[in-house]
Amino acid sequence: MLPVIIGSVGVGLLLLAFALNLLKVLDEDSRWYLSMNAMGALMASWYALEGGAIPFVILELVWAVTALIRLVCVIKKGPQQC
């Protein structure tokens, strides 16, 4: 049951970040948007790993790493410099 909860929360974070970006509530360079993407993708990746869905593990890990790299850049340099 725990994997389903973690996977659902992770996918929920990804969808919420996407929806808030579409509604212009969160900018693509905001710390909240990038954090939600990184955390959601990590959680979804763990869920995919638990289910043995390796292609989705790879997809979600790439998504998470990309969001984390962008988040670090925004924190260090600011959104205009990344």
- Please, what sign has the CA dihedral across residues 20, 24, 29, 32? negative
Q: Write the pLDDT tens digit of every residue in 31-76.
A: 999 999 999 999 999 999 999 999 999 999 999 999 999 999 999 9
**In the chain, how long is the greatest CA-to-CA distance?**
43
| pLDDT digits 0-9 by tens, 15-27 | 999 999 999 999 9
Instruction: Report, as an integer, the average pLDDT of 2-12.
Output: 96
User: What pTM value is reported for the model?
Assistant: 0.91
Give the model's pLDDT for residue 55: 97
Where b means 16+ CB within 10 Å and e means fewer, 51-78 reads eeeeeebeebbebbeebbebbeebeeee
Residue 82 has pLDDT above 90, yes or no: no
